[in-house]
Amino acid sequence: MNSVTAVGNNEVYANVLRSAVGNLIEPAMVRMAEKRGVQIIDHNVIYKLIDEVKDILSKHLASLVSYRVTGEADITQVFEINLKRREKTAIAGCKVRNGVINRARKVRVLRGQEIIDDGTISSLKNVKEDVNEMRKDTECGIGFEGWTDFEPGDHVQCYEEIHEKRHL
């Protein structure tokens, strides 16, 4: 039992309700465990039991999230464009300086070292044509989903989130 309770960390741990040697699993006990959402684990070899407990607990660990910048652009100008019904919105005129700005990826806008917006791209245009991505040394217009408080001199970073499963 000590081997099983030692598995885990400060996020997940095994809670052993009962342990014994011999035939424990009576039909009434199985029904009661199912009703209460308790998982019964039965093994003949301790290391197989430990491995199964580790696998079960590992499924409950939060993923490790890291970020990889895939493209960067500088906002050089701010344009206002007309939308439907006489509405206007601001578009950031940008020059891509590294990598690729991709419409499908997340973006964050930095003013100095501070992140002032973290969201998605609502429109990406080259001249007046809708595009899915822009590469280094090209100019484009970027519209941000639900946000227009950008200024010339702000920096745009396009990035991807990488989720890695954690294990005990």
How many CA atoms, within 13 angstroms, populate the side-chain half-sphere of residue 149?
Answer: 10
Global pTM reads 0.70
pLDDT of residue 99: 97
Lowest-pLDDT choice from 48-52, 73-77, 81-85, 139-143: 81-85
- Asked if 17 and 4 touch (Cβ cutoff 8 Å), the reply is no
pLDDT(168) > 90: no
Handedness of CA 113, 118, 69, 140 (dihedral sign): negative
pLDDT of residue 27: 81
CA–CA separation, 137 vs 132, rounded Å?
16
pLDDT(25) > 70: no
Q: How confident is the model at residue 156 (pLDDT cuts 50, 70, 90)?
A: very high
pLDDT(17) > 80: no
- Sorted by where each starts, the structural domains of the chain and their CATH numbers stand as 2-59 (no CATH), 65-164 (2.40.30.10)
Q: How confident is the model at residue 5 (pLDDT cuts 50, 70, 90)?
A: confident
How many CB atoms within 10 Å of residue 6?
Answer: 11
Lowest-pLDDT choice from 3-17, 62-76, 120-134: 3-17
pLDDT of residue 24: 62
pLDDT of residue 1: 65
pLDDT of residue 115: 96
pLDDT digits (tens, 9 = 90+) for 79-115: 988 877 778 889 999 999 999 999 999 999 999 999 9
